[in-house]
Amino acid sequence: MKRFPILAGVAALAMASATAHAADKLTLQLKWVTQAQFAGYYVAKDKGFYKDENLDVTIKAGGPDVAPPQVIAGGGADVVVDWMPSALATREKGIALVNIAQVFKRSGMELTCRKDSGIKTPADFKGKTLGVWFGGNEYPFLSWMDKLKYKTSGADADIKILKQGFNVDPLLQKQAACISTMTYNEYWQIIDAGVKPADLIVFKYEDEGVATLEDGLYTLDAKLKDPAMVDKLARFVRASVKGWDYAIKNQPEAVKIVLKNDATGAQTEHHQTQMMSEVAKLVADQPKGIGYLEEADYQRTVDVLLKGSSDPVITKKPVGAWTHEVWDKAMKK
């Protein structure tokens, strides 16, 4: 009988110990649906890299009706994946997003055109219908058109903008001469639909000098004022970088992990394998390591966005829109 209090005490200590070491919860909101564009995060979770950092990470897929800045502003996430043009525009409107890591070093955005539309150079865009994504993705396009001195609105617009859905039908059905594509996604959808590469002409934003930074990790400025949260974010970034490194080096396995996490069952191994290969090119070979935001890349993005004379994406240089604090802390271990 006397042993019961002792056993109860041991159990209480065990429960207290378990509680003390409970993993820290963190929620990541993706910019789009589950696909290899976000392979590093799914790999980090699947391989236990987050768990190794005492993190319990929830990854929330995005979609056409999900705006990551609104999700984090509403308390639905701790970190979001967003493109810098969208993040900076959002910051200027009052939601203080801060870049804590820049995963994609290069831009995958491009404009893909049918050769039979008569387009050979950007000078041939005039008078044509061009498919453009909105919801924050239109900013790089508008900056490019401004650089070309094309009016994009009004009765005297130089081009007609087709508000493009998230498919390639406008090009296949010849509703538009060109559509927005990503090197890792929609371009390959066009090819898989039976169009030959020789029948297309592709203008990469990188080559046109209007590339802006894409997938980065953002949190709210207020969260960075809490040392405990900064520590949690650093552990998250460290595990995510490890996940991306593993995904790039083990692409077939990374694809299988992505497919396992696709609750919709919409993705195919063929397409995700193509995507993983192309995404790896945008992430890999960063001089200071995956996730380090180069100030020159940030400044280039800001300069492109400020150049829009008629409808600029941002109206002034952002202040406090990025920090190396989290990345530096993550890499010190």
Residue 309 has pLDDT above 90, yes or no: no
**What's the pLDDT at 146?**
87
Q: 175, 204, 233 — which closes off a domain?
A: 204
Once rounded to an integer, what is the mean pLDDT over residues 222-244?
Answer: 98
Q: 204, 221, 247 — which closes off a domain?
A: 204
Helical ranges in the chain per DSSP H: 3-20, 39-46, 49-52, 68-73, 84-92, 139-147, 169-172, 186-192, 227-249, 251-261, 269-283, 295-306, 325-331
Residues 95 and 124 in one domain: no
Average pLDDT, rounded, for the chain: 92
**What's the pLDDT at 17?**
47
* Under 8 Å between Cβ of 186 and 157: no
Please tell me the distance from the alpha carbon of residue 278 to that of residue 186, in angstroms, as a whole number: 12
Residues 95 and 222 in one domain: yes
Domain count of the chain?
2
pLDDT tens-digit readout, 105-130:
999 999 999 999 999 999 999 999 99
Whether 18 is in a domain gets the answer: no
Whether 68 is in a domain gets the answer: yes
Residues 219 and 196 in one domain: no
Residue 3 has pLDDT above 60, yes or no: no
Of the pLDDT bands very low, low, confident and very high (cuts 50, 70, 90), residue 18 is very low
Of the pLDDT bands very low, low, confident and very high (cuts 50, 70, 90), residue 314 is confident
Once rounded to an integer, what is the mean pLDDT over residues 134-160?
Answer: 87
The SS3 of residue 97 is strand
* Under 8 Å between Cβ of 41 and 240: yes
Q: 143, 173, 204 — which closes off a domain?
A: 204
Domain that residue 143 falls in = 109-204
**What's the pLDDT at 22?**
92
For residue 78, the domain's CATH number is 3.40.190.10
Lowest mean pLDDT among 23-37, 194-208, 221-235, 299-313: 299-313
